[in-house]
């Protein structure tokens, strides 16, 4: 086998490895939305796909123009649930292209992506311990967190601006009801909120759904 083919296979292998490393990092920092077989396969395939496309069209202008037109038809039909997921997809495609052009750029992008993900988790932990501020969850992230659903006769002051609040609704008829939904990752924080709510007289019902019970 010519030496050039060994180089191609090495770069393709590194492209696949970069996707795997990013996937493992996301799982380790407890991004539960990524912990599926479909995401694993996606993360393994995106970089080598971009790698092959880049190599195929790199020395052929006519093929490049035709490939651009063909790829414009291909789109992600499933909705991207959060900005991070979109950024990760873009990073995986870029790393695949980078490994086809310059292996050092591919390695650099992979390391930067992994380091940023790890740093963000460490920063979140530090902020929580130092009580600087808490990061709230988006509505989509609430699917991967413990939730508290509350019905109250009146507004509950400490819930109105709570960082864990992902949904609020108000019904006037036939009786006035205030509905809250909170998403909490940390079990200790969940217990703390529960203890506070038990002292609020305006609450009609309180339902807690633990993540482990929904999996």
Q: Which two tokens stand for residue 70?
A: 């063909």
The phi, psi pair for 92, rounded to 5°, reads -65, -40
Do 36 and 8 contact (CB within 8 A), yes or no?
Answer: no
Fold of 140-214: Alpha-Beta Plaits (3.30.70)
Provide the residue ranges of all domains of the chain, joining segments of one domain with +.
Answer: 3-130, 140-214
Please report the pLDDT score of residue 215 as a whole number. 38
DSSP structure class, residue 80? P
From first to last of the 215 residues of the chain, give the pLDDT tens digit: 455 678 888 899 999 999 999 999 999 987 877 888 988 999 999 999 889 888 877 766 665 655 665 555 555 555 666 788 888 988 998 999 899 888 999 999 999 999 999 999 899 888 877 767 666 555 455 556 677 888 888 888 777 777 667 677 777 767 788 888 877 777 777 788 888 887 788 788 888 877 655 43
Q: Which two tokens stand for residue 20?
A: 């795997």
Phi/psi region, residue 30 (left: phi>0; alpha: psi -120 to 50; beta: rest), is left
Helix intervals (H) in 29-170: 37-57, 61-71, 83-101, 103-130, 157-160
- Which neighbouring-strand residues pair with 152? 178, 203
Q: Helices 83-101 & 103-130, crossing angle to 10 degrees?
A: 150
H or E segment at 15? Answer: helix 3-28
């Amino acid at each position: 086998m010519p030496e050039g083919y060994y180089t191609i296979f090495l770069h393709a292998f590194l492209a696949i490895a970069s996707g795997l490393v990013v996937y493992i990092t996301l799982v380790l920092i407890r991004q539960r939305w990524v912990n599926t077989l479909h995401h694993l396969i996606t993360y393994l395939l995106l970089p080598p796909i971009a790698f092959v496309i880049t190599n195929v069209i790199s020395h052929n202008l006519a093929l490049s123009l035709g490939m651009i037109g063909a790829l414009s038809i291909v789109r992600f039909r499933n909705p991207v649930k959060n900005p991070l997921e979109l950024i990760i997809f873009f990073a995986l495609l870029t790393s695949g292209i980078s490994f086809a052009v310059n292996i050092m750029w591919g390695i650099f992008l992979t390391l930067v992506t992994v380091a940023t993900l790890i740093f963000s988790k460490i920063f979140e932990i530090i902020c929580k311990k130092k009580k600087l501020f808490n990061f709230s969850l988006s509505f989509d992230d609430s699917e991967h967190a413990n939730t508290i659903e509350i019905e109250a006769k009146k507004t509950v002051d400490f819930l109105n601006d709570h960082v864990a609040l992902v949904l609020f609704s108000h019904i006037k008829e036939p009786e006035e009801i205030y509905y809250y939904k909170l998403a909490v990752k940390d079990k200790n924080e969940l217990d703390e909120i529960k203890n506070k709510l038990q002292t609020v007289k305006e609450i009609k019902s309180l339902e807690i759904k633990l993540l482990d019970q929904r999996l």
